[in-house]
């Protein structure tokens, strides 16, 4: 037996291999003969690829295309099951009639657009879908791995409506989780949540009647390990109660951050035993998830209801009480004074995450062009550093006033050198002026009316000029000395 199990594991991957990529601009024709042009890749699932798409026409498919095309090799099974589900359950008129009857504005089931086969390097199966935005698992992580009690209550109400629609149309989802819950793509649908990925969707109520409870170890553990239902761990065909159990684990994780069995997700038998143990003792489950005892009452009642539904094999075929479960969360909102306005807290907190994204992008832009990103805080911090450098250079320029004063002195020296070519050299002028000033002071001090200091000053001046000219003459040329004699003689 062990070798057989190993062979099964080896055979499984080839059955679900990824398709060869499509080239942008390639045209696919669906079963209704409508043509779709493929754009760039926008995502990848476990067994297929997602491409932006639009009805075939001129031009290329832009990044904001309204549709996506999901493709996988024709031999794969998940997309075949998903297309089968959409054809039976998610036609646009069916969803519209349900919403009208229930007086609902929104139902989180994607609409079926089209599907077909495509012959290329390999034979592909494809399905055309609506375009969606971010998934709730990423929102959960960006919110610090915890959603507010109000958000969980509003999400629970919407998802229970979605599950009721699926179950009333003979299908169960069997793989509910945050990464399969997507927000709308357009501005009008960004606060709406859609349950996607119906690769494990199972028709629990075929024409012959409800499936029988039968454990099969060969089919055990299908789904996402941390959320897989107890029935799926035993290989029992998926039923409505399994979706209710899975949703309970998802809601619980959103509230407390981590499920107590997430420490060993690789051991599926361990996961099965832990879930059954805790379902038999809900208080111990709540204590493990909420050590401080702050578990919301509506969550406790939901899990107690789930425990009674799951642990009793006789209730395998029972229709869940959707109204009771929705009422738990509706009452919680009313008691807390919260309005179910569809404005989730994690969407209100989304700008914080987007600011981080803007900081990164603006920083990248600033590397290329520092003029961008005016209001980004990191840029504001960077600017003072640049200013600081300028200020330091300015501070070093505080001492230049002497340099500025030195410039006129150089100019004065130049003027003096230039004026030396004149017959009356002004080079000695600063000294006579000082002498005149001193003489004037002395005249005032001695006697204002006396005129004798003037001849003395003139004589002293002539003597200084004569000495200066004689010195210059001896150091320069005979012509200047002669010129000095002539000046001295006059």
Q: Which residues are tagged catalytic?
A: 175
- Other CB atoms within a 10 A radius of the CB of residue 53 amount to 26
Distance, in Å, from the CA atom of 89 to the CA atom of 51, rounded to the nearest integer, reads 24
State in Å, rounded, how far the first CA of the chain is from the last one.
137
What secondary structure does DSSP assign to 154-186, as a single string?
A: HHHHHHHHHHHHHHHTTEE-----GGGEEEESS
**Residue 310 · residue 241 · CB < 8 Å:** yes
Number of other CB atoms surrounding residue 127 within 10 Å: 22
71 near 51, Cβ under 8 Å?
yes
- Do 109 and 89 touch, CB atoms closer than 8 A? yes
Taking each helix axis as running N to C, give the angle between helix 297-311 and helix 149-168, from 0 to 180 degrees, rounded to the nearest 10: 30
Token pair of 138 as six digits: 């990423």
The sign of the torsion formed by the CA atoms of 145, 148, 149, 155 equals negative
Among 176, 179, 148, residue whose Cα is nearest residue 160: 176
Round to whole Å and give the CA distance between 296 and 323. 19
Return d(Cα 223, Cα 172) in angstroms, integer: 12
141: alpha, beta or left? (left if phi > 0; alpha if psi -120 to 50): alpha
The response to whether 390 counts as a known ligand-binding position is: no
Contact 133, 219 (CB under 8 A): no
Query: Which residues are annotated as part of the binding site?
Result: 70
Annotated binding site for ATP: 70
């Amino acid at each position: 037996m062990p070798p057989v199990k190993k062979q099964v594991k080896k055979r499984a991957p080839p059955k679900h291999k990824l398709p060869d990529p499509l080239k942008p601009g390639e045209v696919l024709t669906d079963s209704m003969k409508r043509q779709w042009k493929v754009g760039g890749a926008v995502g990848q699932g476990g067994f297929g690829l997602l491409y932006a798409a639009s009805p075939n026409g001129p031009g290329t498919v832009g990044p904001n295309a309204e549709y996506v095309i999901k493709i996988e090799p024709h031999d794969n099974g998940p997309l075949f099951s998903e297309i089968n589900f959409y054809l039976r359950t998610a036609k646009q008129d069916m969803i519209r009639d349900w919403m009208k009857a229930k007086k609902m504005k929104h139902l989180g089931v994607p609409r079926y657009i089209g599907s077909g086969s495509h012959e290329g390097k390999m034979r592909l199966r494809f399905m055309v879908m609506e375009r969606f935005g971010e998934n709730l698992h990423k929102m959960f992580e960006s919110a610090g791995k915890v959603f507010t009690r109000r958000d969980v209550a509003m999400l629970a109400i919407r998802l229970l409506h979605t599950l009721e629609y699926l179950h009333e149309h003979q299908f169960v989802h069997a793989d509910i989780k945050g990464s399969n819950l997507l927000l709308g793509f357009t501005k009008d649908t960004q606060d709406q949540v859609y349950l996607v990925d119906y690769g494990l969707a199972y028709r629990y109520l075929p024409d012959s009647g409800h499936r029988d409870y039968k454990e099969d170890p060969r089919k055990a553990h299908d789904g996402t390990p941390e959320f897989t239902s107890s029935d799926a761990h035993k290989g029992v065909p998926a039923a409505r109660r399994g979706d209710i159990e899975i949703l309970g684990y998802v809601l619980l994780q959103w509230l407390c951050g981590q499920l107590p069995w997430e420490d060993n997700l690789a051991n599926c038998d361990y996961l099965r035993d832990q879930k059954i143990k805790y379902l038999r003792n809900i208080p111990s489950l709540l204590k493990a998830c909420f050590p401080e005892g702050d578990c919301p009452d509506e969550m406790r009642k939901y899990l107690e209801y789930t425990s009674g539904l799951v642990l009793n094999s006789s209730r395998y075929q029972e229709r869940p009480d959707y109204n009771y479960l929705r009422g738990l969360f509706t009452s919680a909102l009313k008691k807390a004074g919260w309005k179910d306005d569809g404005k989730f807290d994690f969407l209100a907190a989304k700008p914080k995450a987007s600011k981080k994204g803007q900081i990164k992008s603006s920083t990248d832009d600033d590397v290329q062009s520092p003029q961008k990103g005016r209001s980004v805080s990191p840029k504001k911090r960077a600017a003072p550093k640049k200013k600081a450098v300028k200020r330091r250079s300015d501070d070093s320029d505080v001492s230049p006033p002497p340099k500025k004063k030195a410039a006129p002195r150089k100019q004065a020296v130049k003027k003096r050198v230039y004026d030396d070519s004149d017959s009356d050299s002004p080079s000695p002028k600063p000294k006579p002026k000082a002498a005149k000033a001193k003489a004037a002071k002395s005249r005032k001090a001695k006697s204002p009316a006396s005129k004798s200091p003037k001849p003395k000053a003139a004589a002293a001046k002539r003597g200084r000029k004569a000495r200066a000219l004689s010195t210059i003459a001896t150091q320069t040329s005979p012509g200047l000395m002669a010129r000095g004699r002539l000046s001295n003689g006059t």
